[in-house]
Amino acid sequence: MKKVLVVLTNVSTYGDHADATGLWLGEATEFVDELNKVGIDVDYVSPEGGYVPIDPRSLKYADENIFEYYKSSDFIDRALTHSMAAKDIKPDEYDAIYYTGGHGVMWDFPNNPYLQRTSERIYQNGGYVTSVCHGIAGLFYLQDENQQPLIAGKQITGFTTTEEYLSGKVREVPFMNEKIAQEKGADFKKARAYKPYAVQDGQLITGQNPFSPRQVARLLINNLK
């Protein structure tokens, strides 16, 4: 059976700001829902393991399907309460890794050595490194076999600078995803703000915003079949 590692954040505020953030719930549940439909298994990991906070704003956009997962004892236990710790992951067990979003990931995804090692190993094994929205932050410092940025010269997408301004959080975030991706040599693609959009370049599959997790999942599924 194919298995995908879903990465979630442990960060609950915008740095030192007294403003709540965390996992953008639908970016996990909608992706997982697509995989569940075709019998692909998932595990949930976070940098530190354990508790995963939910961005309260994401609940305002939750539909019935998202709330089904939010009320699921399995999802609450495995994803939100007892997520696996990045240091304990065995990369060879997975066919792909998927970085979810929510602003919290900007603090704990980019420089986690265990997530980096896992992602690079999965990629070296011929697996897929995928992300959606702010989850692109997990890709910035990955390296290829020549110690060059993995995303250099690759078509990828993520939460755009325009969307960050529209989110109203631009003064609270530590960087702009689009800017960092371009500095790493990526060919950053984007569609209209807050419209579903995903792009694949080889073993990299990325989605632009919170409306794109199903698009990422479907591209991944097509490759895992």
Residue-wise pLDDT for 146-159, tens only, equals: 999 999 999 999 99
Question: Whose CA is closest to 214, among 225, 199, 198?
Answer: 198
Dihedral (Cα; 188, 191, 193, 195), 10-degree rounding: -130
Average pLDDT of the residues in 109-118: 97
Could you tell me if 25 and 123 are in contact, meaning their C-beta atoms sit under 8 angstroms apart?
A: no
Tokens of 217: 């999942």
- 126-142: average pLDDT: 98
Give the pLDDT score at 225. 87
pLDDT at 168 over 90: yes
Q: Structural domain of residue 102, as residue ranges?
A: 3-224
pLDDT at 223: 97
User: Side chain identity at 108, as an amino acid letter?
Assistant: D
Query: 209 pLDDT band (50/70/90 cuts)?
Result: very high
**Percent of residues, the chain, with pLDDT higher than 90:** 99
Mean pLDDT, range 89-110, rounded to an integer: 98
Structural domain tally of the chain?
Answer: 1
Q: Could you tell me which of 201, 4, 14 has the C-alpha nearest to residue 119?
A: 4
For 36, counting Cβ atoms within 10 Å of its Cβ (0-12 exposed, 13-18 middle, 19+ buried), the class is: middle
* Cα–Cα distance measured from residue 135 to residue 26, given in angstroms and rounded to the nearest whole number: 13
CB within 8 A of 59, min separation 6: which ones?
A: 25, 70
CATH of the domain at 200: 3.40.50.880
- How many CA atoms within 13 Å lie on the side-chain side of 52? 30
Average pLDDT over residues 12-20: 94
| Predicted pLDDT at 80 | 98
Average pLDDT of 126-137?
A: 98
Render pLDDT for 24-47 as a digit per residue (tens, 0 to 9). 999 999 999 999 999 999 999 999
| Distance of alpha carbon 102 from alpha carbon 12, whole angstroms | 10
Report pLDDT for 1: 87
Q: The pTM is what?
A: 0.98
**pLDDT tens track for 169-198:** 999 999 999 999 999 999 999 999 999 999
Mean per-residue pLDDT over the chain, rounded: 97
Q: For residue 130, what pLDDT is reported? A: 98
Q: What is the mean pLDDT of residues 110-124?
A: 98
